[in-house]
Amino acid sequence: MLADQAMSVDSKTVKKIASLARIAMSDDEIEAMVPEFNGILGWVEQLGEVDVTGVEPMTAVIPNVLRLRDDVVTDGDIRDKVLANAPAAEHGFFGVPKVIE
Amino acid sequence: MTESTYRIQGATGEWEVVIGLEVHAQVTSNAKLFSGAATTFGAEPNAQVSLVDAAMPGMLPVPNGECVRQAVRTGMALNAQINRYSRFDRKNYFYADLPQGYQISQLYHPIVGEGAIEISLDEKNPDAHTKTIGIERLHLEQDAGKLMHDQHPTMSYVDLNRCGVALMEIVSRPDMRSPAEAGAYLKKLRSILRYVGSCDGNMEEGSMRADVNVSVRKPGDEFGTRTETKNVNSVRYVMATIEHEASRQVDVIESGGTIVQETRLYDPDKNETRSMRSKEDAHDYRYFPDPDLLPLELDDTFLDACKASLPELPDAKRKRYESELGLSAYNAAVLTAEAETARWFEALLTESAKAQGKPEAEVAKAAANWLLSELYGALNRMAKTIDDSPVSPAAGAELLALVAGGTISGTIAKQVFEIMLETGEGAGAIVEARGLKQTSDTGAIDAAIAKVLADNADKVEQYRGGKEALFGFFVGQTMKAMQGKANPQMVNELLKKALG
Amino acid sequence: MTDLTDLGIADIRNGVRAGTFSAREVATAFNANVAAAKALNAFLIDTPEHALAAADAIDAKRAAGEDLPIMAGVPIGMKDLFCTVGVEARSASKILNGFKPTYESTVSQKLWDAGAGMLGKLNMDQFAMGSSNETSAFGNVISPWRRNDGGNAALAPGGSSGGSAAAVSARLCPGATGTDTGGSIRQPAAFTGISGIKPTYGRCSRWGVIAFASSLDQAGPMARDVRDCAIMLEAMSGFDPKDSTSLDLPVPHWEAGLSSNLTGKRVGIPKEYRLDGMDAEVAAVWDKGIEWLRDAGAEIVDVSLPHTRHALPAYYIIAPAEASSNLARYDGVRYGQRNLPDGAGLQDMYAATRAAGFGHEVKRRIMIGTYVLSAGFYDAYYTQAQKVRTLIARDFERVWDSCDLLLAPTAPSAAFALGQESDDPIAMYLNDVFAVPASLAGLPAMSVPGGLDSQGLPLGLQIIGKPLDEQGVLNAGLAIEERAGFTARPAQWW
Ligand SMILES: [Mg+2]
Ligand SMILES: [Zn+2]
């Protein structure tokens, strides 16, 4: 339950989250984010009080069924469109900084 | 099932290896799982990419019904629970082969639940040494794109053609205890997928890859910490991965270290596994239900149609070949291991029965023997698969009918088959044109026998003196004199008479 | 001749159909207003040639004697998160700098098919995250409204569809597209004295609309009155096989179905919306709204939506969670801005690109979303929030036993000064306290002007309807509109 685990987030956690989210942040930015983070988390933690026994999490907001597509090729063969906006594209590929695996 | 005996001999005693496999099998479909782009292998880079696959802003996934159908059929073939309610979840991570920044997969509610596969560890005697390997789940997910690192000095190139292709991830229980069991499991799984038609099983083109989970323990202990070696793409490599990873783990533990749960890579050139640190960073996939997609709900009509469309599967077929056709367990196992072989065999059977006017059960043994020895031998020599056999089942049946009807002997049949392979002519035409018909003319056979007995008077003496083993010699000599064209049964009868 | 830019959608279409004026004259007049209103910063990109080309096509159709579609000759503003072919679409974020879609969103295509043209791309809160239009990377939108107390502090137009709201209320366009994730059509409409409707989730296709939170995002029209909203919603709606959450239902003829006679309708007044310390002027307009609906024939009933106060915190878990994932694709590989520091590897490039490309509020929400989905917290936050969402939806389902529609204020206050609430995220989030419950439940909801407060600023009234009952919502809106007699408009100072 949220209420029980109400805890504050420290700069190390914020840093980890920034890294998970792939957002470069300076130490100052991290420090500045800590109270904002705690403010928002502290506020949403009131949800922990709500009794949700036997309640299913919402899946479809309006009753609707998932339609399935026919197995037909209707798309692709549009390489120019796919690459049109790429910051780096060569020989039909997207280019990224070299990855060492 | 007999106890597995695969053990790794360490300095501190014997170790047992525990193996689980996560197999990624590409679903046979024309279009991708969530887009209308094609899935064909080997296209120009980024030519089979839709705006959805490239994760352009505002693009949305729409599931391909055929991929769902194939996953359900596969689940049924694995005797697994089919979940009428499943969901697609997002697995979030950043990599250049994953444009959305997440893979659409199924974590919380997979389309297929628990099932099982029976593997056989003794080909010669398939029923004697079997083991059941549990299937934990089968779920649908998107494949990723491809990165090329050797085309440019400072850049990697990204090709998204594979991105979004439908995969079935089939997760086994950690039930395997030796490389051989893992190999048998993979072969059996591939066989089932190909029977069902849900995956072509082509490991070279990447249609089937295995993530190999390996841990070691002292027999009877709790499970050890496992490592996962990713994307191993042949049965042989899977077995090699297990051998190397297991002994590496034993070495680490015995020299005082601990195994870290990590992702590794198998290098077939060096025949070793190594840590993939690049993928290690912060494994927190933040799975949650994909809000672009509704729950997938399957109704009876859909499920019934899936069920009705399933072919006879290898185990059932093998048992039927034994019980109804009277084939040996070994022959039945070999004929049913691959769908293509079974299909060819059944066509041969139908044609043979027709050509000989007999029930299939009466012609089955000869057909099986001929296919497994003569045809397989020829295909091996020519490095061909049964699908591109130069001889059709009908042509094979014609040959078999000639033998069964006594028109030619087995020996002549071998010659005729060679000529069929060379010229493509029919067996009947070959026999006719080259005068290979076997003779049942008693006069000619008697004349040949008389000559053989006269030329070998000493042996006749010995035979009559009790050395009955010489009978075969007289048969051989007579057949030779008849240039193989004598009816062997008749030779036997007439020889017996002549020798008294 | 009347100033064509004083006309709304219906009047323009009718005039073009009748030949009273040409579509080109209309487009030209609005293009001029757009060009003259740079001080509002409502448009990020002007596309006068698009508006003219669409107008010429309509004029040619008329000359050829063809029937003219429902938005014939109506030039509109397009919120920047709709992708339109060849026109930069940035969602008011630097990270999409230079991105020119090669595709047309379903909603914009439907509008063009209905005879509309595009005046330009409208400013907004960055990735639709905000309630004041202060998070745009391209500067605040200034509300055309000013307080009547002589103070000339620049006011917020509301958000996230702040550019749309400002543009419609300042007569830069007769109608504009908006999107509403948690009030982003209704709150800015209320702040600027115009009408706006968020339809039932699934009515308008999300294909080609830059996503914020997929389970909540809905496009809708913002226009000067209820009839105009009905026309434009009709043009925008409809089944789209490319959106798995699209509803496969015919589009009703909402304009033809308009009627302000509410006899037989029961309107619920949810007691939980009457907050402690509620702004007295907001409460007073609400009371007037109740009287107007009664006057229109409706029966007024008191109802309860017990989980209302949990809606906003649930929203601020669900929306950031979805956003954190939806915005992962902005990585500098396939489109938009790329920041590649010296010697940076792939992951460094991602982090640098996203650090430079996203604004502060976007980063904050991505990080909150990342946190609530992360290992060990997922159930406590996300699953719990989705369960609370079920309860909120259930509240509405139960209330439909005793009423057909709900009436509430749109926002807890009139427009505030730019900068006034931007330091305190939670204070800013509270702007949407009345709007968010209907978003969580996917319900149609509309804001119509209810009157002016003592400072001369518009206050909005919100009508919430049953799923798919846009007609009921529009009709109640019309009943209010007819009785409120709201004719105020901002004095032109720009
Ligand atoms: Mg795996
Ligand atoms: Zn997988």
Tell me the per-residue pLDDT of B306-317, one tens digit each, with 9 for 90 and over.
Answer: 999 999 999 999
Distance B211 CA to ligand 1 centre (A): 6
Helices A27-44, C360-373: axis angle to 10 degrees equals 60
Q: Give me B436's structure tokens.
A: 């290979």
Q: Mean pLDDT, to the nearest integer, of B376-397? A: 95
Q: Is the ipTM of this complex over 0.85?
A: yes
The residue among B60, B66, B68, B155 with the most chain A CBs within 10 A of its CB, best to mutate, is B155
Ligand nearest to the CA of B22: 1
* Residue B165 in this model has a pLDDT that exceeds 60: yes
A56 chain-C contacts, CB cut-off 8 A? 387, 390
- The confidence band for B205, taking pLDDT boundaries of 50, 70 and 90, is confident
Q: Give me B141's structure tokens.
A: 């997910």
Strands (E), B225-319: 227-232, 263-267, 272-275, 288-289, 296-297
Stretch 335-364 of chain C: residues touching chain A, C-beta under 8 Å = 335-338, 340, 344-352, 354-355, 358, 363-364
pLDDT for the residue C276: 85
Closest CA to C330 of C211, C242, C161: C211
Tell me if A74 and B36 make a contact (CB, 8 A cut-off): yes
Which is higher by pLDDT, B484 or C480?
Answer: C480
Q: Mean pLDDT, to the nearest integer, of C254-277? A: 96
Q: Which residues of C are catalytic?
A: 79, 160, 184
Ligand 1 is a single-atom ion; what residues have CB below 5 A from it? Answer: B 22, 211
Task: Kindly state whether residue A25 falls inside one of the protein's structural domains.
Answer: yes
Instruction: State the chains in contact with B (3 or more Cβ–Cβ pairs under 8 Å).
Output: A, C
Task: Kindly state whether residue A24 falls inside one of the protein's structural domains.
Answer: yes
Tell me the per-residue pLDDT of C164-176, one tens digit each, with 9 for 90 and over.
Answer: 999 999 999 999 9
Task: Kindly state whether residue A93 falls inside one of the protein's structural domains.
Answer: no
Instruction: State the chains in contact with C (3 or more Cβ–Cβ pairs under 8 Å).
Output: A, B
Stretch 34-53 of chain A: residues touching chain C, C-beta under 8 Å = 36-37, 39-41, 43-48, 50, 52
Task: Kindly state whether residue A26 falls inside one of the protein's structural domains.
Answer: yes
| B66, B147, B289 member nearest A71 (Cβ) | B66
Q: Give me B295's structure tokens.
A: 């729950």
Tell me if B56 and C244 make a contact (CB, 8 A cut-off): no
Distance C373 CA to ligand 2 centre (A): 20
Tell me if B51 and C378 make a contact (CB, 8 A cut-off): no
pLDDT for the residue B281: 52
Tell me the per-residue pLDDT of B413-458, one tens digit each, with 9 for 90 and over.
Answer: 999 999 999 999 999 999 988 888 877 778 888 889 999 999 999 9
CA angle A40, A41, A47 (to 5 degrees): 110
Q: Mean pLDDT, to the nearest integer, of B209-230? A: 95
Answer whether C370 touches B (CB < 8 Å): yes
Q: Give me C479's structure tokens.
A: 């009943």
Q: Average pLDDT over chain B, rounded to whole?
A: 93
Tell me the per-residue pLDDT of C101-116, one tens digit each, with 9 for 90 and over.
Answer: 999 999 999 999 999 9
Distance of CA B342 to CAs B332, B384, C30, Å? 9, 16, 74
Task: Kindly state whether residue A92 falls inside one of the protein's structural domains.
Answer: no
Tell me the per-residue pLDDT of B123-138, one tens digit each, with 9 for 90 and over.
Answer: 777 787 899 999 999 9
Tell me if C208 and B58 make a contact (CB, 8 A cut-off): yes
User: Rounded CA gap, C151 and B293, in Å?
Assistant: 49
Q: How many independent structural domains does chain A possess?
A: 1
Q: Considering chain C, what percentage of its residues have pLDDT values greater than 70?
A: 99
Tell me the per-residue pLDDT of A49-65, one tens digit each, with 9 for 90 and over.
Answer: 999 999 999 999 999 99
pLDDT for the residue C125: 98
pLDDT for the residue C424: 84
Q: Please state whether the peptide bond connecting residue C439 to the residue before it is cis, i.e. omega within 30 degrees of 0.
A: no
Phi, psi of C277 (to 5 degrees): 70, 25
In the block, tokens 């007295």 appear at C280
Handedness of CA B242, B248, B249, B251 (dihedral sign): positive
* Residue C471 in this model has a pLDDT that exceeds 80: yes
Tell me the per-residue pLDDT of B349-360, one tens digit each, with 9 for 90 and over.
Answer: 999 999 999 999
pLDDT for the residue B436: 82
Q: Considering chain B, what percentage of its residues have pLDDT values greater than 90?
A: 79
Tell me if B49 and A82 make a contact (CB, 8 A cut-off): yes
Ligand 2 is a single-atom ion; what residues have CB below 5 A from it? Answer: B 169
* Residue A3 in this model has a pLDDT that exceeds 60: no
- The confidence band for B280, taking pLDDT boundaries of 50, 70 and 90, is very low
Tell me if B286 and A75 make a contact (CB, 8 A cut-off): no
Instruction: State the chains in contact with A (3 or more Cβ–Cβ pairs under 8 Å).
Output: B, C
| C370, C390, C426 member nearest A17 (Cβ) | C370
Lowest mean per-residue pLDDT among A19-23, B73-77, B436-440, C486-490 = B436-440
Distance B170 CA to ligand 1 centre (A): 10
Q: Which residue from B minimizes the CA distance to C215?
A: B291
| pTM over 0.90, yes/no | yes
pLDDT for the residue C236: 98
B63 chain-A contacts, CB cut-off 8 A? 66, 68-69
A76 chain-B contacts, CB cut-off 8 A? 35-38, 47-50, 53
Q: How far is CA B210 from the centre of its chain?
A: 15
B294 chain-A contacts, CB cut-off 8 A? 59-60, 64-66
Helices C470-484, C280-295: axis angle to 10 degrees equals 100
Q: How many angstroms separate the CA of residue C439 from the nearest CA in chain B?
A: 14
pLDDT for the residue A7: 60
DSSP class of residue B14 equals: E
Q: Mean pLDDT, to the nearest integer, of B208-223? A: 96
Ligand nearest to the CA of B210: 1
Tell me if C215 and B54 make a contact (CB, 8 A cut-off): no
Tell me if B288 and C378 make a contact (CB, 8 A cut-off): yes
pLDDT for the residue B46: 98
Q: Mean pLDDT, to the nearest integer, of B145-174? A: 96
Distance B209 CA to ligand 2 centre (A): 10
Tell me the per-residue pLDDT of A6-23, one tens digit each, with 9 for 90 and over.
Answer: 468 999 999 999 999 999
Q: Give me B233's structure tokens.
A: 């793409």
Task: Kindly state whether residue A66 falls inside one of the protein's structural domains.
Answer: no
| C101, C243, C329 member nearest B100 (Cβ) | C329
B96 chain-C contacts, CB cut-off 8 A? 333, 346
Answer whether A84 touches B (CB < 8 Å): no
Q: How many angstroms separate the CA of residue A58 from the nearest CA in chain B?
A: 10
pLDDT for the residue B282: 55
| A79, A88, A97 member nearest B46 (Cβ) | A79
* Residue A101 in this model has a pLDDT that exceeds 70: no
CATH number at residue A23: 1.10.20
B160 chain-A contacts, CB cut-off 8 A? 82, 94
pLDDT for the residue B283: 76
Distance B24 CA to ligand 1 centre (A): 8
Q: Which residue from B minimizes the CA distance to A99?
A: B156
User: Rounded CA gap, B352 and B359, in Å?
Assistant: 9
Tell me the per-residue pLDDT of B318-332, one tens digit each, with 9 for 90 and over.
Answer: 999 999 999 999 999
Answer whether C86 touches A (CB < 8 Å): no
A64 chain-B contacts, CB cut-off 8 A? 294
pLDDT for the residue C363: 97
* Residue C485 in this model has a pLDDT that exceeds 60: yes
Which is higher by pLDDT, B439 or C446?
Answer: C446
Tell me if C333 and B61 make a contact (CB, 8 A cut-off): no
Q: Mean pLDDT, to the nearest integer, of C311-322? A: 97
Lowest mean per-residue pLDDT among B34-38, B423-427, C133-137, C150-154 = C150-154
| B62, B90, B92 member nearest C242 (Cβ) | B62
User: b or e along C413-445 (b: 16 or more beta carbons within 10 Å of the residue's beta carbon)?
Assistant: bbbbebebbbeebbebbbbbbbbbbbbbbbbbb
A60 chain-C contacts, CB cut-off 8 A? 245
A77 chain-B contacts, CB cut-off 8 A? 38, 47-48
Task: Kindly state whether residue A23 falls inside one of the protein's structural domains.
Answer: yes
Lowest mean per-residue pLDDT among B250-264, B461-475, C125-139, C194-208 = B461-475
Task: Kindly state whether residue A85 falls inside one of the protein's structural domains.
Answer: no
For A17, the domain range is 11-48
Answer whether C245 touches A (CB < 8 Å): yes
Answer whether A5 touches C (CB < 8 Å): yes
pLDDT for the residue B72: 98
pLDDT for the residue A2: 44
Lowest mean per-residue pLDDT among B32-36, B458-462, C254-258 = B458-462
Tell me if A69 and B64 make a contact (CB, 8 A cut-off): yes
Closest CA to C224 of C294, C152, C144: C144
Full strand arrangement of the beta sheet holding A89-90 = A89-90, A93-97, B155-159, B146-148
